[in-house]
């Protein structure tokens, strides 16, 4: 199957019955196996578009939309929808990308500064500050989905992302556990490969591992994040609105006004067209 095909594995919105019956671990691998080539294609496009540092936020918005639709079983055109979503959400995505870079640089700077202190107040201060970075890392599970799906101002994006990070703590811890587990499994696989093949092939193997490491882990993490984070968004934002407004029940792909819990639906959708 082509990496950048214009269609999902099946026509029309929604998922097959046997897909809907699968949950958790089994659904995760079901998505990966059935859409692996297209997930890798989308990840390749994402990595290439992230090479200029200032485009990280823009690329992440487009990639989040593609991966969200893969997880939800909705048809999506990788290249077309990727750039359409970027075009529609470029202002907020650009700001979010700048914030990401600033947070990463500040974390590295703090680590390099505080790593020399093994005890004392500065040592404890580093771990206290690390909690902030952990919270922000969890907030990133939601930031770009909120940007591309809901009609929020940038301040409300971060406010809602924080609420979802706190209120969805169980799912978020599960996501963190999944990321750690996948990382350890990937490292273990690399070690197994390196210890199995002859020494003469080591350099070539390492080259391929480096190349694959740019795509495989990102793809694995993204599916896990989208599976868990979107279920939290549905539970805490979409479903409460539909329960309070049964006569105005809105679909998940529609957007909401700029509130923590949306009060009315917007007439225009921010999500890209499902081709």
Let me know if 203 is exposed, middle or buried by CB neighbors in 10 A (0-12, 13-18, 19+): exposed
pLDDT of 4: 55
Residue 22 belongs to some domain of the structure: yes
pLDDT of 204: 67
Least confident of 47-51, 181-185, 262-266: 262-266
Which residues share a beta bridge with 256? Answer: 265
Residue 259 belongs to some domain of the structure: no
Of the ranges 18-27, 65-74, 178-187, 211-220, which is most confident? 65-74
Structural domain for 230, as ranges:
17-248
Instruction: Pick the closest to residue 229 from 182, 148, 170 (CA basis).
Output: 170
What's the domain count of the chain?
Answer: 1
**DSSP structure string for the chain:** --TT-SS-SSSSSS--HHHHH--HHHHHHHHHHHHHHHHHHHHHHHHHHHSSGGGHHHHHHHHHHHHHHHHHT----HHHHHHHHHHHTHHHHHHHHHHHHHHHHHHHHHHHHHTT--SSHHHHHHHHHHHHHHHHHHHHHHHHHHHHHS---HHHHHHHHHHHHHHTHHHHHHHHHHHHHHHHHHHHHHHHHHHHS-GGGHHHHHHHHHHHHTTHHHHHHHHHHHHHHHHHHIIIIIHHHHHH-GGG---TTS-B-SSSS--SB-SS--SPP--
pLDDT (tens digit per residue) in 236-263: 988 887 788 766 655 444 443 333 434 3
Residue 75 belongs to some domain of the structure: yes
CB atoms within 10 A of CB 260: 13
pLDDT (tens digit per residue) in 24-43: 778 888 998 889 899 999 99
pLDDT (tens digit per residue) in 131-168: 899 999 999 999 999 999 888 899 999 999 999 999 99
pLDDT of 199: 61
CB atoms within 10 A of CB 129: 15
Residue 82 belongs to some domain of the structure: yes
Residue identified by tokens 């470029």 is 90
Residue 8 belongs to some domain of the structure: no
pLDDT of 63: 97
Residue 197 belongs to some domain of the structure: yes
pLDDT at residue 68 above 70?
Answer: yes
Residue 258 belongs to some domain of the structure: no
pLDDT at residue 185 above 60?
Answer: yes
pLDDT of 1: 45
Residue 269 belongs to some domain of the structure: no
Tokens encoding 185: 């499994």
pLDDT (tens digit per residue) in 82-104: 999 999 999 999 999 999 999 99
């Amino acid at each position: 199957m082509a990496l950048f095909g214009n269609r999902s594995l099946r026509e029309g919105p929604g998922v097959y019955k046997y897909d809907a019956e699968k949950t958790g671990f089994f659904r995760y691998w079901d998505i990966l196996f059935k859409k692996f080539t297209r997930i890798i294609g989308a990840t390749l496009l994402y990595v290439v578009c992230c090479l200029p540092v200032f485009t990280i936020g823009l690329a992440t918005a487009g990639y989040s939309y593609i991966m969200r639709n893969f997880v939800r079983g909705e048809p999506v055109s990788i290249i077309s929808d990727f750039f359409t979503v970027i075009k529609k959400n470029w202002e907020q995505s650009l700001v979010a990308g700048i914030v990401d870079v600033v947070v990463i640089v500040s974390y590295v700077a703090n680590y390099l500064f505080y790593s020399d202190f093994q005890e004392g107040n500065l040592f404890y201060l580093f771990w206290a500050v690390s909690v902030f970075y952990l919270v922000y890392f969890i907030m990133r599970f939601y930031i770009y989905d909120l940007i591309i799906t809901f009609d929020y101002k940038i301040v409300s994006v971060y406010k809602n992302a924080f609420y979802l990070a706190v209120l969805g703590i169980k799912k978020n811890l599960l996501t963190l556990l999944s990321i750690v587990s996948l990382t350890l499994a990937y490292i273990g696989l690399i070690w197994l490969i390196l210890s199995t093949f002859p020494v003469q092939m080591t350099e070539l193997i390492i080259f391929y591992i480096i190349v694959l490491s740019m795509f495989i882990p990102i793809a694995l993490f993204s599916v896990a994040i989208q599976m868990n984070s979107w279920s939290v968004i549905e539970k805490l934002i979409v479903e409460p609105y539909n329960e309070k407004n049964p006569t105005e029940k809105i679909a998940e792909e529609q957007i909401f006004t700029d509130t923590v819990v949306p009060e009315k639906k917007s007439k225009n959708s921010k999500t890209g067209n499902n081709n």
